[in-house]
Structure 1
Amino acid sequence: MEHAHFGCVETSALDGVDVVWEGAARLGDDEVEVRLWAGPSSEPDAEELDAFAGCLTGLPALDATARTALRAYLREDRSFIDHHVEELEDSEPVVRLVRDAAGEAVGADFFAAAMRLSGVGLWLGGLSDGPPVILDYVFDPDRSDQILAVKLTRDGTVVSVDWES
């Protein structure tokens, strides 16, 4: 299938799940890696690809929605924050957050603001029952491989936030 944003999307030769398109999207001053995933049972259609292209065009709004979910997740469960503060206590971002907290615990809002969107995964239908849009957020990616993955529907509704590595 030929698409205005993604070009030629071919899934018929796939033996398993694989990336069928790679690119980048702008979010402020950052360039974010984007991958379109498909499998042998994936049959892309124009509506689905148009929705994904809309997600990329509307990435700032999608990021704002995801960050709201991140803040809520981190307020409810501080484990991700505490892990990074303890494991990366000498890293510049942690030192800055601890200093700014002035003797209090590092706040979820400040921690979420310090996180960076590192990647967008778009999953063509037929791969699983999971959400088709996944935004991966990292904190100090040079020193930690831990990710908070915000999983969304094509229309931008948050389904879950999951800690992954």
Structure 2
Amino acid sequence: MAIEHDYFGVLSSGPDGAIFWTERVEFGDQSVTVDLTAPDQDDVSQDALDMAAALIAGIENLDASVRRAMLSEVDDRTSEVTEYILQQQEAFGEDLEDVLVDISGDAAVDIIRSLRLTSMTILADEHGGDDPFAVMEYALDADATDEVLLVNLGSDGAVLSVMSAD
């Protein structure tokens, strides 16, 4: 079987009923891998696909919103964002300025501004539920795949949580 959608085209399911779609999306100076997945195509609605398409089309605004949410957690010493920033400062040491795209003098702000959005995974079967509908992955060093921040988004694109992947 297959699902057809204006943005995604025909989404064919595998023998187990799962669907998967992937594409590289360009915005600004970044190239982001976007995946849409669901373990059972019967759990994917047209509304979920419409919302997924809207998130992808608005990825630049979504990225800005996510970064603002990260900045709002910087004052909380127990937040995953603060922990990540401290880890990156320790890992890079005096070389930190070499990986920053903007240097304002506030290391936390500079690190968040310098994060690269490396991927976005849309869990199409989670539309309207309590679990994340999309997960955006950010890294200061795109080659350090284990030192990332994962941002969980609801079906409406609202930030549900930010977690460190380590």
Q: TM-score range by the shorter chain?
A: 0.7 to 0.9
CA distance in 2, matches of 1:126, 1:150: 15
Flag the 1:126–1:54 CA change in 2: closer, same or farther, 3 A. Answer: closer
Residue of structure 2 equivalent to 1:3: 5
Alpha-carbon contact 2:11-2:19 (below 8 Å) kept: no
Deviations 1:91-125 (A, max 9, x none): 4xx1345xx576xxx53211100111100010022
Residue of structure 2 equivalent to 1:122: 122
CA distance in 2, matches of 1:41, 1:3: 13
Q: Structure 2 unaligned segments of length 5 or more: list them.
A: none
CA distance in 1, matches of 2:136, 2:142: 15
Matched position secondary structure for 1:74: coil
Query: What's the TM-score, normalizing by structure 1?
Result: 0.81
CA distance in 1, matches of 2:97, 2:25: 30
Flag the 1:82–1:154 CA change in 2: closer, same or farther, 3 A. Answer: same
Query: What's the TM-score, normalizing by structure 2?
Result: 0.81
Q: What is the CA-CA distance between 1:9 and the residue it aligns to?
A: 1.8
Q: Structure 1 unaligned segments of length 5 or more: list them.
A: none
Task: Output aligned runs, 1:12-161, within 5 Å.
Answer: 13-14=15-16, 20-40=20-40, 42-77=42-77, 78-89=82-93, 91=95, 94-96=96-98, 100=103, 107-125=107-125, 129-143=130-144, 145-161=146-162
Alpha-carbon contact 2:21-2:37 (below 8 Å) kept: yes
Alpha-carbon contact 1:123-1:132 (below 8 Å) kept: yes
- Aligned pair count reads 156
Q: Which amino acid aligns with 1:153?
A: G
